[in-house]
Amino acid sequence: MDVDHYSILGLPSGEEGAEITEKEISRAYKAKALELHPDKRPHDPNAHSNFQKLKSSYDILKDEKARKLFDHLLKVKQEQLRRQSERDAKRKKMAADLEIERAALLQKLERRKERIARNLKENARTGAMQASKVEANSFNSKTDRYRVRNIYKHCSIYKCTKFAKAREEKENCKES
């Protein structure tokens, strides 16, 4: 139902329209009928259909039962529009809240990326410093290398002899 019979007659709609008397409806109809009558508008191809709409709107508003049904229908439509606007407002608020949350998360991620990049740079810098220290402390002479090799051999021999002793003990246990 897209037709507002009150507005066709040039009257206020909604709750104001429900308060209008039959006398005011008749007066509005007569004024509009003079304006829209096909005899007054011979060059308008829609004059007859516009006048028929005016007449049917007047008939509906003149009939008490039909007018009450129409008023009830207008109230229901207004209530639906009000609810829809409330839902739209809630949706807009939720969308705005989600956008704020999204922006906050993006900032948090950006800060995290920056922190990781700083840590990587710091780790690379400390690694380079340690590498330069190792190079500085590297064995400068043949004697240093000889000492390290002997220490390593001694440890290896020690491990081997320890392993050999453990194997002998195991074999002795099996024989007994």
131-164: buried (b, 16+ CB within 10 Å) or exposed (e) per residue?
eeeeeeeeeeeeeeeeeeeeeeeeeeeeeeeeee
DSSP 46: T
Name the average pLDDT for the chain.
Answer: 81
More confident residue, 97 or 145: 97
The residue among 57, 50, 72 whose CA lies nearest residue 11 is 57
What residue ranges do the domains of the chain occupy?
5-62, 143-176
74-92: buried (b, 16+ CB within 10 Å) or exposed (e) per residue?
beeeeeeeeeeeeeeeeee
| Strand ranges for 5-119 from DSSP E | none
Instruction: Note the CATH number of domain 5-62.
Output: 1.10.287.110
pLDDT at 146: 65
Tens digits of residue pLDDT in 120-157: 888 877 877 776 665 556 555 566 666 656 665 555 55
CB of 57 closer than 8 Å to CB of 8:
yes
Q: Give, in degrees to the nearest 5, the angle at Cα 22 between 18 and 28.
A: 90
Indicate whether 158 pLDDT > 60: no
